[in-house]
């Protein structure tokens, strides 16, 4: 028996108010639980190296700088303070190594509390002496 003559079936409707409320709750949940990572301003793709170990070790000149501002070249304390004097000492240390034909690597071992100017003096002395390979020694913090 059809008591509703002339009236067809009503189309079902989706209640949009409840739908929007559920979406807002999900959005708030996602915003609260998401962790954000910081990215640097520069996107850099670092090169990879799959080289074998060098057959011959380059000549190394260790330059130490302590907290009081004293310099030591290859564990020998030097009295000079300016870049010119350090350049002469670096040249002498390179010649004393017996491998003068090879460009030595200057390794700077600076105390953490040493003044920046002392390190800059060593960099300037290496430039004046004509040594292009300079690196810094550091110790690992032990944390990962």
In this predicted model, what pLDDT tens digit does every residue of 110-135 receive, in sequence order? 888 888 999 999 999 999 999 999 98
Query: Would the pLDDT of 5 be above 90?
Result: no
Q: Write the CB contacts of 125 (distance below 8 Å, at least 6 apart in sequence).
A: 83, 84, 85, 86, 87, 89, 90
Predicted local confidence at residue 31, as pLDDT: 87
Predicted local confidence at residue 81, as pLDDT: 84
Higher local confidence (pLDDT), 2 or 31: 31
The CATH number given to 60-136 is 3.30.420.270
Query: Would the pLDDT of 87 be above 80?
Result: yes
Predicted local confidence at residue 28, as pLDDT: 93
Identify the weakest region by mean pLDDT among 52-56, 63-67, 97-101, 114-118: 97-101
The pLDDT tens digits for 10-61 are 777 778 898 899 999 999 998 888 876 655 555 556 556 566 766 777 889 9
Specify the 3-state DSSP secondary structure of 110.
strand
Q: How would residue 84 be classed by pLDDT, with cut points 50, 70 and 90?
A: very high
Looking only at the bridges linking them, the beta strands covering 71-73 and 60-65 are antiparallel
Query: Would the pLDDT of 88 be above 60?
Result: yes
Specify the 3-state DSSP secondary structure of 33.
helix
Predicted local confidence at residue 44, as pLDDT: 53
Q: How far apart are CA 134 and CA 58, in angstroms?
A: 12
């Amino acid at each position: 028996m059809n008591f509703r003559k002339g009236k067809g079936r009503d189309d079902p409707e989706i209640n949009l108010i409840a739908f929007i409320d559920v979406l807002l709750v999900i959005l708030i949940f996602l915003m609260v639980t998401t962790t954000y990572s910081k990215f640097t301003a520069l996107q850099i793709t670092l090169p990879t190296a799959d080289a074998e170990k060098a057959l011959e070790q380059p000549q190394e000149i260790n330059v130490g700088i302590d907290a009081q501002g004293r310099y030591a070249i290859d564990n020998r304390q030097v009295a000079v303070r300016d870049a010119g004097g350090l350049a002469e000492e670096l040249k002498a240390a390179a010649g004393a190594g017996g491998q003068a034909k090879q460009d030595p690597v200057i390794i700077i071992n600076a105390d953490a509390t040493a003044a920046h100017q002392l390190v800059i003096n060593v960099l300037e002395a290496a430039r004046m002496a004509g040594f292009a390979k300079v690196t810094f020694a550091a110790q690992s913090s032990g944390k990962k």
